[in-house]
A and B are shown apart, each in its own frame.
Chain A
Amino acid sequence: MGFEKFGRKSYTAQTKVAEFVDRLAQGEICATRCRSCGRIYFPPRADCSFCLGDAMEWVKIPETGKLASFTRVYYAPAGFEADVPYTLALVNFGDVKVFGRLSSAVEESTIKIGMDLKPIVLEMPDGQITYEFIPVEECGR
């Protein structure tokens, strides 16, 4: 599967880390870890800028993280109009931070910086695949 499947609209088809999308389809959200120096990267990278190594392994990101910031978007850039309003979020998982969307089902008034969130995989009707964050309390599935 190519990287063009990632997100509502991908701008990149070819990348050495396209396996991220295959793993997403398996229900895993992964970072990469440098086999030489042990640094963990999200977004996943094929190359380590610290030790210049290019031997990476996939590691699952932690189950839960804390909301670092968010915004509810009411005016979309071209190509995203059908999704508004949607909530963008940055979530801190300790070793890594992950940028994405918070489930639109979460009311803006209930969103608090620092709240516990869990990432889930989301397959869209058009075949695109992504992840989004949901509050930990709602993780019944």
Chain B
Amino acid sequence: MPKDVAIIGVGQSAFSRKYSGSVREMVFEAFAEAVRDAGITPKDIDASLVCSAPEYDKQRSPAGLIAEYLGLNPQPTFVLENICASGTSGVRVAYSLIKAGLHDIVAVIGFQKMSEISSAESQERMGRGADIMWEAPFGTMMPAYYAMHAQVHFARYNTTEEDLALIRVKASKYGAINDRAVFRKELTVEQCLSAGVVSSPLKVYDCCANADGASCLILANAARAKEASSQPVWILGLGAASATMNLTGRQFLDGLQVTRLAARQAYRMAGLSPRDVDVAEVHDCFTIAELMAYEDLGFAEPGRGKELIREGQTYIGGKIPVNVDGGLLSKGHPIGATGGSQVRTIVLQLRGEAGPMQVPGAEVGLVQNIGGVGIYSNVIILGR
């Protein structure tokens, strides 16, 4: 189990419907928190990776601007984009920069200010995160693609709309106690089931909330990590994979092959198995995505993910607590900030600093972050 690269600082702005400042100011909130948390100064940071989906940004080439505002010149900086998986792709690249010996300390900064465009425009842009020649001309969008996965899961495994509602109810319970979440209301199964249909069978509360937000992670090599931090959280395993963008190239729709492949790599690198994981953050952009993640990550056999949520096993106190910070569903999903926020949650869990969301005694945590509809997947395993 490698202990070469650690996360020594984490930060996140509050996720909100509409941030009342500029992108640079929003990013600064997350950055300042992470740098203070790491006990370093901006000049200790050797390079920065800025993770963002540029179709939402008015600023072109935001890395230059962000590095300037954060005081990170003249160190190298660049943008990294994998749509919703940008943040964890940033972690993968930062890990390799550090392992290669090019840099000692790297900042992974993620942001998105979704409120600068309307929801319909946002869906249209997300829809263009699929094949623009052969899919988008039919009027595609993210909820529709995940709905098509849900239809297959329902037909093959008798999963139900109630199962999906149970996942949202869990997310809302933890979103209500997370002061960084955008959606703070608790929901009932009845409320979830009676909400309007977006793309059958997914209804309003099966979909995550767009949000404005920023996240920041500070990664360091072993020597600098031990020097700067009393509680470094180590990157034990990394996995990443891609799949055809067009759904016509997928072998199955009742799970995501990219996650299965990325998880296998990450478990192998860490020398761990699914039952070693004490707490997980999975990419619940839609309720069905969390259900598929239970199975793709090996927490449940294929088709049996519904039993985990029906039995409450993914709550704190259950076999494998998942998204106990509210997840994308309630915490919110500012595209480029999401991966960093997921990692931050796990780091706080492993340091015992997750407050009311703490999973007692958590030693190993897992993050699964998806880009597009299963186009990209990153799985990261973290440990104390």
Name A residues whose Cβ lies closer than 8 Å to a Cβ of B.
Answer: 3, 6-12, 15, 42-43, 68-81, 83, 86, 88, 90, 96-101, 108, 113, 130
CB distance from A29 to the nearest CB of B (A): 12
Give 19 pairs: A residue, B residue, CB < 8 Å, sorted on A: A7-B138, A11-B133, A12-B133, A69-B253, A71-B201, A74-B197, A74-B200, A75-B199, A76-B139, A77-B124, A77-B127, A78-B120, A90-B247, A97-B247, A99-B138, A101-B139, A113-B155, A130-B137, A130-B138
Interfacial residues of chain B within 133-176, with CB under 8 A of chain A in the complex: 133-141, 143-144, 147-149, 151-152, 155
Given the known inter-chain contacts A6-B137, A43-B131, please indicate yes or no for A88 contacting B248, CB distance below 8 A: no
Cross-chain contact B253 with A43 (CB below 8 angstroms): no
CB distance from A120 to the nearest CB of B (A): 15
Cross-chain contact A75 with B140 (CB below 8 angstroms): no
Complex CA gap A6/B136 in Å reads 11
CB distance from A134 to the nearest CB of B (A): 15
Cross-chain contact B151 with A71 (CB below 8 angstroms): yes
Cross-chain contact A99 with B247 (CB below 8 angstroms): yes
Cross-chain contact A78 with B199 (CB below 8 angstroms): no
Cross-chain contact A77 with B141 (CB below 8 angstroms): yes
Please report the number of residue pairs spanning A and B whose Cβ atoms sit closer than 8 angstroms: 116
Residues of A within 8 A of B197 (CB): 72, 74
Cross-chain contact A88 with B128 (CB below 8 angstroms): no
CB distance from A24 to the nearest CB of B (A): 12
Residues of B within 8 A of A10 (CB): 133, 137
CB distance from B147 to the nearest CB of A (A): 4
Cross-chain contact A8 with B253 (CB below 8 angstroms): no
Complex CA gap A98/B134 in Å reads 9
Given the known inter-chain contacts A74-B196, A88-B144, A98-B248, please indicate yes or no for A113 contacting B152, CB distance below 8 A: yes
Cross-chain contact B138 with A88 (CB below 8 angstroms): yes
Complex CA gap A74/B128 in Å reads 18
Residues of A within 8 A of B140 (CB): 77, 88
Cross-chain contact B139 with A86 (CB below 8 angstroms): yes
B65: Cβ under 8 A from any A Cβ: no
CB distance from B95 to the nearest CB of A (A): 29
B246: Cβ under 8 A from any A Cβ: yes
Complex CA gap A73/B144 in Å reads 7
Known: A42-B248, A97-B247. 6 other contacts (CB 8 A): A8-B139, A11-B132, A43-B131, A73-B141, A75-B123, A75-B199
